[in-house]
Structure 1
Amino acid sequence: MIVSSFKPDLQIFSDLGGPQAFLPVGSLTLDNYTGVFDRVPFWQFMMNSILISVVTVGLGLIINSMAAFVLARMQLPGRRILLAVVLATLIVPFEVMALPMLWEVNQLPYIDGSQGWLDTYAVQIVPFIANAFSIYLFYTYFDSIPKELDEAARVDGAGWFRIYRSIVMPLAGPAIATVAILTFLPAWNQYLWPLMVTQSESVRPVMVGMGYFHQLGKVSWGQIMAYASLITIPVLALFIAFQRSFVNSIASSGVKG
């Protein structure tokens, strides 16, 4: 992808038959990258995606960790059944829920007094804050933390929220990093839902911008490769930043004792 982003379209196709397709050889140029900025409002799409993804991750960490804390640490009746119900939602494909969700968000009142959330940031964020898989990841990690810490804290007069904030969450760094990455990726890569609920370029994310390269008749594959390379940079940066915690979380998930 990166190598092809520096090649003209004709050379991309001529190189497909050999190893030169993977090598930066031939007439390399930055024209594809300049063409991206001429063809789409790239920075607007990029800032929209960053805003949507960061807010979704931030709120998701709070909401999902709180739900997991209740299920893992508090002795509530029926909590196992509730966890099973939460996990059962994972088997329902998003495509099945898309049209009912579209109808629902169009009936909700918005903060400015109007009806319907279409063509807003909220419609791209709020439906995806609570996530069953994130709750399950937090649940498994919280459940592995010794409950004696809770008992000691309660003897000292700490409430459940204080235990969550001051004891459990500081020990859950790897789980937080893993959930952050696994929440960021779907938020960043969303295409179908933003395509359904947004019309203005002022709120559209980067993945919807990919369709702009197919609208003017001739498809420039070099520009598509350049656009895809640019929108991959934030994902790589996030993974590099949380790589150590992510790997630690995966490793510790298979270790008991």
Structure 2
Amino acid sequence: MNRTLIAIVRIAIMIAVAVIALFPIYWMVMSSFRSHEEIFKYTTLSPELFLPVEWTLKNYKDIFLDPSKPFGRYMMNTLFVAVLVTSLGLIVNAMAAFAFAKLRFPFKKLLLTLFMSSLVIPYEVIMIPQYLLMRDLDWVNSFMALIVPQIVWVFGIFMLIQFFSDIPRDILDAARMDGASWLRIFGKVVLPTAVPAIITLGIMTFLNQWDSFLWPLVVINEEKKQVIQVAISSFQSLRNISWGKIMAATSISSVPILIVFLFLQRYYVQGITMSGVKG
């Protein structure tokens, strides 16, 4: 009986936590179907707080049919950048992590220490030198400035090192004795065993790029090349804040992230468990 009661209490607590966590998302989606005046009209616990009184698609029409702010174009730009950065980043970061975890080369520990020390440097510190570099390369206001600096992610390399370090060295030595190159070992032996960790890093990279705001705001000036988070922020100004448009745009921008996570959540949890940062 006590175990049953404990189980019921645990389930009730988990349900309560889930409701608290999901309610802001629910309120955001419902508010996207409200008029601007109705969003903050109802503040007490009542049916009107949870469901719109007058349903409307005006907010969605406004963000997609406004020729001065092509929201569909912003989403395609963000998707293009996020997919490319994720794909290239997984290749580069996985190879770097494998090299640090399993290969032997001069000054390896020193290089790894210097590399990891960059994790404690705030991004705002390196943003100006990075912008000047983009200017010298004539990449300002181009997708190259959004993609190339984001490919190498030190935290991603650190996370994969934790996973690759657990791969038995004997397996790699046996492959070397059979004549396999390090590149072949990496592709045929290491990567197949690292699928959960790779998918976990991919989800985290994609999410970071999809939510990127500060760097695109600095480096992109042309409206048609802008990304979605900067576009959402443009719906507010000192004189007017279009909350309906913001709710609609935020709801739409959340869909790709939810789809990716729902399909890959099993690998994400497994990757965190297997290669998570070890304390």
Q: TM-score, normalised by structure 1?
A: 0.91
Contact 1:177 1:242 in 2 (8 A): yes
Q: Is 1:90 equivalent to 2:132 in the alignment? A: no
1:224-235 alignment, distance < 5 Å: 224-235=246-257
* 1:218 to partner: Cα distance: 2.8
Aligned residue in 2 for 1:32: 59
* 1:22 to partner: Cα distance: 5.7
Residues 1:95 and 1:18: Cα distance change in structure 2 (over 3 Å)? farther
* 1:231 to partner: Cα distance: 0.7
Q: Is 1:100 equivalent to 2:129 in the alignment? A: yes
* 1:185 to partner: Cα distance: 1.4
> Deviation string for 1:198-222 (max 9, x for gaps)?
1112221111111321259432201
* 1:153 to partner: Cα distance: 0.6
Aligned residue in 2 for 1:143: 165
* 1:85 to partner: Cα distance: 1.6
1:160-239 alignment, distance < 5 Å: 160-215=182-237, 217-239=239-261
Report the Cα distance in structure 1 between the residues aligned to 2:271 and 2:42, rounded to whole angstroms: 41
Residues 1:205 and 1:38: Cα distance change in structure 2 (over 3 Å)? same
* 1:17 to partner: Cα distance: 3.9
Q: Which amino acid aligns with 2:128?
A: L
Contact 1:106 1:118 in 2 (8 A): yes
2:85 to 36, 51, 56: 56
3-state SS of paired residue (1:14)? coil
Unpaired runs of at least 5, structure 1? 109-115
Report the Cα distance in structure 2 between the residues aligned to 1:17 and 1:64, rounded to whole angstroms: 50
1:14 to 30, 37, 41: 41
1:3 to 30, 36, 57: 30
Unpaired runs of at least 5, structure 2? 1-27
Q: Which amino acid aligns with 1:153?
A: A
Q: How many residues align?
A: 249
3-state SS of paired residue (1:180)? helix
Report the Cα distance in structure 1 between the residues aligned to 2:62 and 2:229, rounded to whole angstroms: 17
Residues 1:143 and 1:217: Cα distance change in structure 2 (over 3 Å)? same
Q: Which amino acid aligns with 2:38?
A: Q
Report the Cα distance in structure 2 between the residues aligned to 1:169 and 1:121, rounded to whole angstroms: 29
Report the Cα distance in structure 2 between the residues aligned to 1:157 and 1:32, rounded to whole angstroms: 62
| More divergent stretch after superposition (118-127 vs 76-85) | 76-85
Percent identity of equivalent pairs: 38
Q: TM-score, normalised by structure 2?
A: 0.84
The runs of 4+ residues in structure 1 deviating greater than 6 Å are: none
Q: Which amino acid aligns with 1:59?
A: L
2:73 to 36, 44, 51: 44
| More divergent stretch after superposition (37-46 vs 149-158) | 37-46
Contact 2:159 2:275 in 1 (8 A): no
RMSD: 1.9
